[in-house]
Amino acid sequence: MHPELIKLEKTFHRSILTKIDDPLFAQYQIELWMKRDDLLHPVVSGNKWRKLKYILDHALSLGADTIISMGGVYSNHLHALAYVGKVLGLKTIGLVRGEQPETLTPTLLDMKNWGMELKFVSRADYRLLRQYKNWQALPNLTTRQYWLPEGGAQALALKGVAKMVSEIDIRYDVLCVPCGTGTMLAGIIDAVPEQVSVLGFAALKNAGFLTADVAAMLSRPRNNWQINLDYHFGGFAKSSAELSAFIEGFESKTAIPLEPVYTGKMMYAIYDLIKQHHFKPGQCIIAVHTGGLQGKRGFDYKREAL
Ligand SMILES: *Cc1c(COP(=O)(O)O)cnc(C)c1O
């Protein structure tokens, strides 16, 4: 590991396991815990650090001085990358989906302030960028530039996720995680003990394609996993009064913050599935809090703008 990365990780907090107490769980004889990757770092939270760590190490070992990546105007990924780039002294370029908004979102403003060069690309061009799947694949890269594809969908990202799984030191039956590209989910499926089942929750609508995407990322075929497509609440970054009310209730009962794009939807889904007897009595469930709380700010902003 590059010394600068070791130094950076030393400033991080521990991702603990928190037990969630609710009378509901006693009724259904379920135990629910959260793996608090949101606590790791206020900016490079959870999932994004797990996925970035070994990719950054690879880029640094190659002598790269610039990292180019892609994401939306509320992207937790670009936000984390911009911050880490600043700390590590790497130049970062963000290819941002869509037109430049009249007012930059809080996410974009941070990225800009941390020195990321923002280049807005049309939705059509953005889709085309998805074909460049490894670090050298982006056309016209110069020698010290490193391309990081969407979702950090590479073996190096999965390696960081495996570390998260290895930190879980209690016996458990089900591991739950929200899915965007499914990279985190793939890393978890790869890394869990044989008897554990893994449940992903899609944050996007019509995410049927995810199953094939995730299967393709696995290092060996496994049949211990499923992706639930039913709790997207209308689509990516869409919400409802019901979801907002659930999040507020959860936050006030547990003092654990959620955001509506990923973790709020997953927790809503888990509670709902418990009530539908989806889990067997006696089962212990762990939900991964993948962080992303900065996106909540972006989300509120967006709702005001609508
Ligand atoms: C990016 C992100 C995800 C999705 O991760 P994938 O590996 O793309 O599935 C989930 N939760 C949060 C908070 C995220 O920022």
User: Where does the pLDDT of residue 102 fall: very low under 50, low under 70, confident under 90, or very high at 90 and above?
Assistant: very high
User: Where does the pLDDT of residue 105 fall: very low under 50, low under 70, confident under 90, or very high at 90 and above?
Assistant: confident
pLDDT of residue 303: 47
Which whole number is the average pLDDT over 75-86? 95
Which pLDDT tens digit goes with each residue over 204-227?
999 999 999 999 999 999 999 999
Q: Please give the number of the atom of ligand 1 that sits closest to the Cα of 77.
A: 1
Distance 70 CA to ligand 1 centre (A): 14
Is pLDDT above 70 for 305? no
User: Where does the pLDDT of residue 35 fall: very low under 50, low under 70, confident under 90, or very high at 90 and above?
Assistant: very high
Does residue 151 have its Cβ closer than 6 Å to ligand 1?
yes
Is pLDDT above 60 for 9? yes
Which pLDDT tens digit goes with each residue over 182-196?
999 999 999 999 999
Separation CA 287–CA 198 (nearest Å) = 10
pLDDT of residue 306: 33
Percent of the chain scoring above 70 in pLDDT: 96
Name the residue with higher pLDDT: 157 or 153.
157
> Residue-wise over 226-244: b if at least 16 C-beta within 10 A, else e?
ebbbebbbeebbebeeebe
Is pLDDT above 80 for 298? no
pLDDT of residue 150: 84
User: Where does the pLDDT of residue 164 fall: very low under 50, low under 70, confident under 90, or very high at 90 and above?
Assistant: very high
Q: How many CB atoms lie within 10 A of CB 89?
A: 9
Is pLDDT above 80 for 152? no
pLDDT of residue 304: 42
For the chain, give the mean pLDDT: 94
pLDDT of residue 299: 62
Is pLDDT above 80 for 151? no
pTM: 0.95
Best of 76, 201, 218 to mutate for ligand 1, by most ligand atoms within 8 A of CB?
A: 76
Best of 38, 256, 262 to mutate for ligand 1, by most ligand atoms within 8 A of CB?
A: 262
User: Where does the pLDDT of residue 153 fall: very low under 50, low under 70, confident under 90, or very high at 90 and above?
Assistant: low
Is pLDDT above 80 for 302? no
Going by alpha carbons, the residue nearest to atom 15 of ligand 1 is: 292
Distance 26 CA to ligand 1 centre (A): 30
Alpha-carbon distances of 6 from 2, 126, 277, 290, rounded to whole Å: 6, 33, 44, 21
Does residue 262 have its Cβ closer than 6 Å to ligand 1?
yes
